[in-house]
């Protein structure tokens, strides 16, 4: 299979009618090295196939393997007995049909899909497929946590050592690392959707992002890997900032989102150089909610400021040690000082009591501001207030009139809470400035309410870029252009 890039991207095309199928194929050529025709999506199977300027993979998938049709074994066998063949035509056939067919095996991918999770007999499935005459093995399994990627990466290592061509993919958001890093670790190809509306499997990244955002074609065994650890992380624009910085600084690096439930097990099995089960050039991690405090248990050394704050948002892999820092505090305060010049004796309200609130309170107290904590659950937030010796009040029916600054450190206003605000226009009336640490969307409902209440407003993107710059410097020793990174967040990740 000829390809013009160092990594192959296969763009799957799944359309109900032939006109749409061919139109989509024509658009896919821009990003695809290979085009997969998902023929199980069609209402009617064509008698012939148009000439397309890319190699084709034909797929006729039954519903139990992720297809769009209820297909009997006999229906599938009949289809493949008359399917087109050729030097640029590949067949993707399920493992149960291998012994029923007599194709050109040098153009066959034998596949297994599991949408329920990672099967316990994954190694046996690989061995069974490896004993077929097919040229390429394909195994795709559903992931629910980043740790589910480990057996997929291990399969890639095994196949490479045995000289066997393989496509191994962890589906779902937690499996994105296998889609981006797979080709550099021996995967025959990776799949990329034509656009976000045309994904054909969970967690499938679009082809444009694979190439322009994650720099798929330049990733190799030496690539410096960094990433964002949290749950959830798919809304984050951090990959845009850091991947743009790698490009600007001409560094061989990639920054990935990692969906992590159990941060302690993740650090033990995939991160710490002394215990990890994956050989990769991991250099640094950003830590976000809900792991900023728990991650401290996993580290060999923690910076004094991060200890004071009680939260780590940056991890550096140095030799066989893990070092922890907090860049949130400096990133948080920098845009404020540019806007307000001084915070001495400023009356400040903090909404929320998580890791971001810790960093904000610590930074504000160092600027000699007077801080009050506001929370929906006062008893739960009281411990944080006691730690910093500040007052804690109920957010319900609170009034921020007379405050110089109101800061939202909660996720309310983004993700599942995008249509909500932690405070109303009436509550904000009479305050000078409202600072929302949320950066996606750039204008939250809180900021719109604040504007209507006559307040100055400040969004979270400036903080995100500032703290990301400090992280990048810790990982690489280089400083990136903040303006360049802000420009690269115009198209949200």
User: Is the CB of residue 340 less than 8 Å from the CB of residue 369?
Assistant: no
Q: Which two tokens stand for residue 42?
A: 């069609």
- Residue 432's CB: how many other CB atoms inside 10 A? 16
Q: Where in the chain is the domain with CATH 3.40.50.10860?
A: 228-326+466-487
Question: What confidence tens digit (pLDDT) does each residue in 178-210 have?
Answer: 999 999 999 999 999 998 888 888 889 999 999
Q: How far apart are CA 11 and CA 20, in angstroms?
A: 15
**What CATH code is assigned to 9-214?**
3.20.20.70
Instruction: Check whether 459 has a pLDDT greater than 60.
Output: yes
Chain centroid to CA 169: 15
Instruction: Check whether 424 has a pLDDT greater than 60.
Output: yes
Q: How far apart are CA 138 and CA 465, in angstroms?
A: 39
Question: What confidence tens digit (pLDDT) does each residue in 54-100 have?
Answer: 999 999 999 988 888 899 999 999 999 989 888 999 999 999 998 88
| pLDDT at 486 (0 to 100) | 59
Strand partners, 374: 351, 393
| pLDDT at 202 (0 to 100) | 85
Question: What confidence tens digit (pLDDT) does each residue in 319-342 have?
Answer: 999 999 999 999 999 999 988 889
Q: What is the share, in percent, of the chain residues with pLDDT greater than 90?
A: 83
| pLDDT at 491 (0 to 100) | 42
Longest dimension (CA), the chain: 81
CB proximity list for 286: less than 8 A, separation 6 or greater? 226, 227, 228, 229, 238, 313, 314, 468, 471
**How many residues would you count in the chain?**
493
Q: Which CATH architecture has domain 337-459?
A: 3-Layer(aba) Sandwich (3.40)
Task: Tell which residue, 431, 263, 272, 265, has the closest CA to residue 346.
Answer: 431
Q: What is the share, in percent, of the chain residues with pLDDT greater than 70?
A: 96
Tell me which of 120, 268, 292, 479 is the catalytic residue: 292
Question: What confidence tens digit (pLDDT) does each residue in 222-236 have?
Answer: 999 999 999 989 888
Question: What confidence tens digit (pLDDT) does each residue in 282-316 have?
Answer: 999 999 989 999 999 999 999 999 999 999 999 99
Q: Where in the chain is the domain with CATH 3.20.20.70?
A: 9-214
- Is 292 part of the annotated catalytic residue set? yes
Fold category of 228-326+466-487 in CATH: Rossmann fold (3.40.50)
Q: Where in the chain is the domain with CATH 3.40.50.720?
A: 337-459
| Letter string b/e over residues 10-30, b meaning 16 or more CB atoms within 10 A of that residue's CB | bbbbbbeeeeebbebbeebee
| pLDDT at 488 (0 to 100) | 61
Helix H or strand E encompassing 305: helix 304-309
Instruction: Check whether 493 has a pLDDT greater than 60.
Output: no
For residue 478, the SS3 value is coil
Residue 90's Cβ-side half-sphere holds a number of Cα atoms within 13 Å equal to 24
Any idea what DSSP says for residue 404?
S
| pLDDT at 485 (0 to 100) | 59
Peptide bond into 25 cis (omega under 30): no
């Amino acid at each position: 299979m000829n390809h013009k890039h160092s990594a192959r991207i296969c763009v799957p095309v799944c359309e109900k009618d032939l006109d749409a199928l061919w139109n989509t194929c024509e658009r896919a050529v821009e990003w695809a090295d290979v085009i997969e025709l998902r023929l199980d999506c069609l209402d009617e199977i064509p008698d012939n196939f148009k000439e397309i300027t890319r190699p084709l993979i034909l797929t006729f998938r039954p519903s139990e393997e992720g297809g769009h049709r209820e297909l009997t074994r006999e229906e599938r066998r009949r289809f493949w007995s008359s399917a087109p063949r050729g030097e640029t035509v590949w067949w993707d056939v399920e493992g149960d049909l291998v012994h029923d067919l007599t194709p050109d095996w040098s153009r066959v991918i034998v596949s297994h899909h599991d949408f329920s999770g990672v099967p316990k007999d994954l190694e046996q499935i690989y061995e069974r497929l490896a004993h077929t005459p097919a040229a390429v093995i394909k195994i795709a399994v559903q992931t629910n946590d980043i740790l589910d990627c480990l057996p997929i990466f291990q399969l890639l290592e095994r196949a490479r050592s045995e000289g066997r061509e393989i496509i191994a993919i962890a589906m779902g958001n937690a499996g994105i690392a296998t889609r981006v890093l797979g080709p550099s670790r021996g995967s025959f190809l990776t799949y990329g959707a034509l656009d976000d509306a045309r994904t054909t499997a969970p967690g499938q990244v679009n082809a444009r992002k694979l190439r322009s955002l994650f720099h798929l074609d330049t990733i190799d065994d030496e690539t410096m890997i960094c990433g964002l650890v949290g749950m959830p992380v798919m809304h984050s624009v951090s990959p845009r900032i850091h991947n743009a910085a790698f490009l600007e600084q001409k560094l061989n690096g990639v920054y990935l989102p990692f969906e992590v439930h159990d941060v302690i097990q993740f650090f033990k099995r995939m991160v710490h150089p002394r215990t990890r089960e994956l050989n990769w050039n991991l250099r640094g991690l950003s830590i976000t909610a809900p792991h900023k405090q728990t991650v401290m248990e996993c580290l060999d050394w923690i910076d004094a400021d991060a200890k004071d704050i009680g939260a780590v948002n940056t991890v550096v892999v140095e030799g066989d040690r893990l070092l922890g820092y907090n860049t949130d505090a400096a990133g948080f305060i920098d845009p404020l000082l540019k806007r307000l010049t001084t915070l001495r004796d400023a009356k400040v309200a903090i909404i929320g009591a998580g890791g971001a609130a810790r960093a904000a309170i610590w930074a504000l107290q160092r600027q000699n501001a007077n801080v009050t904590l506001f929370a929906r659950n006062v008893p739960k937030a009281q411990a944080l207030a006691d730690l910093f010796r500040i007052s804690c009040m109920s957010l319900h029916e609170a009034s921020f009139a007379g405050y110089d600054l109101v800061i939202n450190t909660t996720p309310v206003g983004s993700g599942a809470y995008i249509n909500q605000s932690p405070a109303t226009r009436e509550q904000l009336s009479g305050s000078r400035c409202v600072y929302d640490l949320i950066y996606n969307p750039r204008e939250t409902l809180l900021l719109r309410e604040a504007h209507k209440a006559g307040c100055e407003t400040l969004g979270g993107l400036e903080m995100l870029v500032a703290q990301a710059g400090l992280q990048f410097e810790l990982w690489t020793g280089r400083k990136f252009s903040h303006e360049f990174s802000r420009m690269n967040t115009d198209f949200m990740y």
